[in-house]
Structure 1
Amino acid sequence: MPSREAVINPRPSLSEITVFAPAKINVILRILDRRPDGFHNLWSIMQTVSLEDEVQIRLRPDRQDIQLRCDATHLAADRSNLVYRAAAEVLERTEQSIGLDIELRKRIPMGAGLGGGSSDAAATILGLNHLLQLKWSPEKMAEAGQLLGSDVPFFLFAPSAFVAGRGETVRPVDVEGERWVVLVNPGFGVNTKWAYQELAATRAAVTPLSPVHRELDRQSRMSWAHVVAAAENDFEAPVFAAHGKLREIKRNLLNYGAEIALLSGSGATVFGLFADEARARLAEAQFVNEKSMKVFVVPTCTGPLCWRENPPR
């Protein structure tokens, strides 16, 4: 299999690539005031992890349509799919008349708080940037991506970043070193709109950023110890109140040696952060009899989204 390459300018003859679309975790997620547009301002540190979907894109100069296939039968492979929408957005912005064959191979659970759909969209934009030799900057790619979903811009600045506003403000940060992550998906989802409504209904007031978070926000480089000390997710209180199983998963991960355990996004995935793979594998083993759950053990990513060239057919 061809080796995975860092994001570099492709050769002019490139007509097909596969982009790897990683999941994300929110190691900090604060939900702040409501915006005039009805959305909420947030403040988060996001981190990509090596649980990846694959987006394979092939140029078809003999056509002018987009054909999308997906190996997840419960995910629509039509115009509503974020991958399709991302491809259409790039073609419209660049006034390109060319056909595309896109194959989406899913591994990231859907509706899980791991950003799978947003990552797939970002991977599509990145892939077309290379295939069509657009030479878009990350900022220009993110501009197109933010129309598709709040998390899309982050993936174009991965692996680690501060994210603010609705998600459109992204500032990369260097988190030194690597951690191993145990992702525990309970087998059910949490509706994001419901989570926001429950949060608004159950908290007395919006709590401003703590001094610890404000100090972190001034940094461009930090250790995992600093991140761990500030870990927090505002969605945990309302989501755990409705889904006690998630609180139990968090407690078990901590008991099994996690430095932190936290809900990712609005859920329903709960993750534990571990200093090394051996400890993470020991924690994974504790969930082996939970047949309804999906458990993944992966390292944090240390570089941007990657791609590989596919040989000519």
Structure 2
Amino acid sequence: MRISLNKYKIFSNAKINIGLNVFQKESDGYHNIDSIMAPIDLSDEMNVTFYSNLGDLRIECSDKNIPTDERNILYKTYKAFFEDKKEKEKIDIILKKNIPSEAGLGGGSSNAAFFLKLLNKHYGNVYNESELQELAMKIGSDVPFFIKNKTARVSGKGNKVEIVENNLKDSIILIKPLDFGVSTKEAYESFDSLKEVKYADFDKIIKNLKEGNRIALESNIENSLEQGILKTDINIKMLKMTLNSVISGKKFFMSGSGSTYYTFVTELERSQIETRLKTFVDNIKIIICKTIN
């Protein structure tokens, strides 16, 4: 008979990229990036049970398209945390997905970071925050950001995370296409074939966020990966054209490697824009959220 020791319910939130600069591929095959990432109040739910006996990690997921074996990032996290320990304890995770996958919203990375923080807490804070950041980097490039989980400038290979002040009050409408996604690999391959790239000005973006000046902010946002994808992915190109024609005068930005677009809205604009999107754009999921700090 198995005796359950501890049960935790944790919520791991998504992020958006407020601008993303990608630089040429390095000799190690990876790209350096520069981005502002902001946590948003859209979360997955994880029910985690720690058992007193030895065993393995078992994952159950509400999204049947997500693998629950060793390919899952939670498994990678489990292995990284117990790397130096000969014996692993049995843990069950029931993961309820609300953050869409292949969406550029960091769902998997967030799951990994929150699970890593929970493991650390459960076992008596074996690692301090900077050690946790290093461990997170081994799991995935967006994972260190979610260890801090505050609006931050993220650079290098994702390993440099500097907190920035964010006083934006606007709501955000996320637009996720239902019948296609964009893989990170595809996004970077598209970027690699670009002849020229327009870059975001992060010094200005940081100033705009601090002042809560959304109008100025919107004129400084660029996404290098989007520039590549718009040239190679007809679905994304059509989606962006549709958004621009249905709601003229609004700016839509891709988060990360896509396929999600977002737009900032005031309380007055919100329901009108949401209604227009629901009426005129097919096969999309609309999520209203805010940045959290």
Common topology (TM > 0.5): yes
Provide closer, same or farther for how the CA distance between residues 116 and 191 of structure 1 changes in structure 2, counting only shifts above 3 A: same
Work out whether residues 145 and 161 of structure 2, in 8 Å CA contact, stay in contact via their aligned partners in 1.
Answer: yes
Deviations 1:232-263 (A, max 9, x none): 111222322333223225415753x74x4201
- CA distance in structure 2 between the partners assigned to 1:88 and 1:19 by the alignment: 20
| 175-184 or 235-244: bigger deviation | 235-244
- Does residue 231 of structure 1 match 2:224? no
Pairs within 5 Å for 1:120-269: 120-134=111-125, 136-187=127-178, 188-204=180-196, 212-214=201-203, 222-225=210-213, 227-241=217-231, 242-243=233-234, 244-251=237-244, 255=248, 258=250, 260-269=251-260
SS of residue paired to 1:222: helix
The structure in which a higher percent of residues are helix is 2
Provide closer, same or farther for how the CA distance between residues 239 and 126 of structure 1 changes in structure 2, counting only shifts above 3 A: same
Opposite residue 183 of structure 2, the aligned amino acid is: N
Work out whether residues 246 and 270 of structure 1, in 8 Å CA contact, stay in contact via their aligned partners in 2.
Answer: no
Report the count of equivalent residues. 282
Work out whether residues 114 and 265 of structure 1, in 8 Å CA contact, stay in contact via their aligned partners in 2.
Answer: yes
1:53 corresponds to which residue? 44
- CA distance in structure 1 between the partners assigned to 2:88 and 2:208 by the alignment: 41
Higher RCO structure (Cα 8 Å, ≥6 apart): 1
SS of residue paired to 1:174: coil
Q: Deviation at 1:221?
A: 7.3
TM-score, structure 1 as length reference: 0.82
Deviations 1:209-242 (A, max 9, x none): 67x434657x797233264342111122232233
Opposite residue 283 of structure 1, the aligned amino acid is: I
SS of residue paired to 2:92: strand
Q: Deviation at 1:166?
A: 1.2
Structure 1 runs of 4+ with >4 Å offset: 93-96, 214-217
2:79 corresponds to which residue? 88
TM-score, structure 2 as length reference: 0.87
Q: Deviation at 1:94?
A: 5.5
Provide closer, same or farther for how the CA distance between residues 281 and 69 of structure 1 changes in structure 2, counting only shifts above 3 A: same
Gaps of 5+ in 1: 1-13, 303-313
Q: Percent identity?
A: 28
